[in-house]
Amino acid sequence: MKRSKQLFKLNDKFKLNDRVYISLFKYGVSIVLFILLGSLLIMSQGVDPISATRVLFEGTFGSKRAFGNVLRWTAPCILTGAAASVAFKAGVMNLGIEGQVLLGGFVAGVLGAFLELPPALHILVCVIAGGIAGMLYAVIPAVLRLFFNINEFITTMMLNYVANFLTQYLTQQVLAGGLEVWGYVNMQATPTIQKSAVLPTIIPGTSATLAFPVALLIAFAIAFLYKRTIQGYELKQVGENLRFSKTGGVRVVRSFMTIFLLSGLIAGIAGGIEVIGTYKKFNTGFAAFYGYDGISIARIAELDSIAVIIVSFIWAVLKAGSMQVERVLQVNRLTVTILQYIFVLFVAIDYAGIYNRYQDRKIKKRIREGEL
Amino acid sequence: MFESILRLSFAVSTFAATIRLSSPILFGAIGGSFNDRSGMLNIAYEAVMLYSCFFSVLGSYLTGSPWMGMLFGVASGFIISVIFGLMVYTYNANNMIVGIALNSSAWGITTLLMVLIFGVRGSFFSDRIVSFKPINIPFLQNIPFLNTLLNNNVILTYLAYVLVIAGYIVMYKTPFGLRIRGVGQNPAAAYTAGIDVKKYRWVSLILMGIFTSISGTYLTLTGISMFSENMTAGKGFLCMCAISIAKGNPLKILLVCLLFGYSQALVLVLGTLSIPTQIVSMIPYVAVILVLFVNGLKSFKGTADIEV
């Protein structure tokens, strides 16, 4: 009797107090390892890590322009992160965000270049059409999964490659062929979009566009969906325990489809916004890494939309800073990419599980020694 | 146009290319089938293959022997699979996210290593990288059709097909294979039967690492003798697809790999025609989806459903 009481107490204590410590420990350990490995990687290229860090911060917070650049990178990170967290939270393994971003970007680029519309409407049309393109592209794996029981992680991954080649084909062969009339030379991109379709900047003189507040809005909307609505709760249930939610009367097929469409829509919007906001034209293959960045951000943020915003900001600081570090100190910008993914690895470790195992061992030891 | 497409699609040289192009996918798929059957979804094939590509080139460059290159490659594959195992089995990390992190960092790390060690960007080639030499089988020389099809391949090509049979025998005719399948199907039952579940999962994971890295060696040290940035370009994922379609049966894997190899051979031969290259390059990836689709037709019930 006494023993079970004691055990219960230990368990209880773990739940109340140690969760915060575990979280702190998790990110603490990851950051320390990140800094250590980063220093090693930077030193291996013959550069002093401290000066590299200084350059990184100068390149991100040093001037208005630099900070604008950070916000510019934050927007796509939040959007792809949101697209990934929506999907993964409901148990849908959408690894095809890159393809959906590409298609959304392509459609927005084409509409931006060829449609004649008043400014605000033009932007709206481009973004929404981009979103719909991404959404429709997500329908393929969804249908294959629901009707033919084909696991979506393979189909989405293959559809990334298909989207890449498809947009390349459309840009280079279909569009470029008819565009010689326009004095169009660059085969790697669609023509520049019209002025009416360019997303306005929020800080004048920088590359920070309206994309940032839009991304914030979408992230908050998703947080609201999951935390405050019944539909969101159902979707979360589907992700956490499919069998339970099926027995409980959740229409799993419908929620599965909804998630796929929503994830594709956000990814498509991300592509559209990137194209009309930053590049002003669709560059083939501009979305390399966007998808896996999004999935990694979502994972670090533990699939929480609000945390996605914070992680995206840090991710963007590293991304914008790495380019500055490469320019000033000739440190390869891939160094930062590598470190980002190594950080993902460290965060993926289940520290709570390790802690539990350690606690178990301690209790077992005490039982063996006759204390309990 | 249509005629020449048909003629090229069924030419003997296309089938010969199929045999060559299937073997790298075969190595990874057969090795990985054990990992798959042990019940662990592992998507780090791309990472293992890319590291092995780099280290095979490095080994061959340093020692001048393709076999040493292969040893370097296998060592790197072993290390990556051990990292995966440590993360997933020992530290309970999510297998999907570990796979993604390994895959995505592999591109950066191999490129960075190329810059640091060889001092070049993009791609690296040198006379000092020694590849495997094609083997000439004398008795095949006089048979017209088979000579083009089977002769003058490197030793790894033949080994890949031997591996299929070996893989089938190990998987279905030995206690080891039975235990691996048992561990995957019902770990609790396997544990009750006295099988060390963890040990079998680790062994199958390391098998995957070793054989997938031979795929990487094959990609670099047969013919082209070079390493270029992200040179695997989805071949690792093809291994995974083959396993998933064949549900880990080595003989079915052979069929699927031949199909994938054929679609890649089509990319090579049809690229010489005036068809847009982007459309041709799409073939292997569309083929994967089509094969999955045909394979999935039998579970089509007319209504949408998710199997629990």
Residue type, B176: F
Task: Test B305 with A253 for CB contact under 8 angstroms.
Answer: yes
Domain count, chain B: 1
Contact between B73 and B55 (Cβ < 8 Å): yes
Range of the domain at B187: 27-250
Residue B299 placed within a domain: no
Q: In this predicted structure, what is the pLDDT of residue A180? A: 47
The three-state secondary structure class of B41 is: coil
Contact between A339 and A37 (Cβ < 8 Å): yes
Residue B288 placed within a domain: no
Contact between A66 and A360 (Cβ < 8 Å): no
Query: pLDDT over 70 for what percent of chain A?
Result: 91
Residue B67 placed within a domain: yes
Task: Test B97 with A296 for CB contact under 8 angstroms.
Answer: yes
ipTM for the predicted complex: 0.85
Q: How far apart are CA A75 and CA A70, in angstroms?
A: 9
Residue B258 placed within a domain: no
| pLDDT higher at A39 or B144 | A39
Residue A80 predicted with pLDDT over 90: yes
Query: How many Å lie between the alpha carbon of B107 and the closest alpha carbon of chain A?
Result: 9
Task: Test A246 with B305 for CB contact under 8 angstroms.
Answer: no
A193 — alpha (psi -120 to 50), left (phi > 0) or beta? beta
Contact between A164 and A99 (Cβ < 8 Å): yes
Q: At what angle do helices B66-85 and B95-113 cross, to 10 degrees?
A: 140
> What are the angstrom distances between the C-alpha of A152 and each of A93, A155, B60, B98?
6, 5, 39, 18
Residue B289 placed within a domain: no
Task: Indicate which of B238, B259, B285 best probes the interface with A, i.e. most A CBs within 10 Å of its own CB.
Answer: B285
Nearest residue of A to residue B307 by CA position? A149
Q: Residues A143-147: what's their mean pLDDT? A: 88
Residue B61 placed within a domain: yes
Q: At what angle do helices B250-270 and B235-246 cross, to 10 degrees?
A: 140
Label the pairing between strands B226-228 and B123-125.
antiparallel
Task: Test A253 with B92 for CB contact under 8 angstroms.
Answer: no
Chain B residues in contact with A145 by the CB 8 A cut-off are 306
Q: In this predicted structure, what is the pLDDT of residue A217? A: 92
- On the CB side of B267, CA atoms within 13 Å amount to 17
Buried b (16+ CB within 10 A) or exposed e, A180-197: eeeeeeeeebbbbbbebb
Confidence band for A77, pLDDT divided at 50, 70 and 90: very high
B228 strand-pairing partners:
B123
| pLDDT higher at A14 or B225 | B225
Chain A residues in contact with B92 by the CB 8 A cut-off are 349-350, 353-354
Chain B residues in contact with A147 by the CB 8 A cut-off are 300, 303-304
Long-range contacts: B185-188, Cβ < 8 Å, 24+? B185/B39, B187/B39
Q: In this predicted structure, what is the pLDDT of residue B131? A: 80
Identify which of B102, B103, B282 has the shortest CB distance to residue A162: B282
Nearest residue of B to residue A331 by CA position? B112
What residues in chain B have per-residue pLDDT under 50?
Answer: none
Q: Residues A174-192: what's their mean pLDDT? A: 62
Residue B304 placed within a domain: no
Task: Test A341 with B96 for CB contact under 8 angstroms.
Answer: no
User: B96 — phi, psi (to 5°)?
Assistant: -65, -45
Contact between A79 and A266 (Cβ < 8 Å): yes
Q: How far apart are CA B208 and CA B217, in angstroms?
A: 14
Contact between B33 and B243 (Cβ < 8 Å): yes
Identify which of B111, B237, B240 has the shortest CB distance to residue A334: B111
Q: Which residues contact A113 (CB under 8 A, 6 or more apart)?
A: A190, A191, A192, A193, A194, A197, A281
Q: How far apart are CA B292 and CA B84, in angstroms?
A: 27
Confidence band for A184, pLDDT divided at 50, 70 and 90: very low
Residue A183 predicted with pLDDT over 50: no
Confidence band for A133, pLDDT divided at 50, 70 and 90: very high
Query: pLDDT over 90 for what percent of chain A?
Result: 20
Contact between A308 and A81 (Cβ < 8 Å): yes
Residue B20 placed within a domain: no
Query: How many Å lie between the alpha carbon of A197 and the closest alpha carbon of chain B?
Result: 29
User: Token digits for A340?
Assistant: 């980002």
Q: What is the pLDDT of residues B250-260, one digit of tens each?
A: 888 898 889 88
Q: pTM for the complete prediction?
A: 0.85
Identify which of A253, A344, A345 has the shortest CB distance to residue B306: A253
Query: What does the longest C-alpha to C-alpha distance in chain A come to?
Result: 89
Q: In this predicted structure, what is the pLDDT of residue B49? A: 92
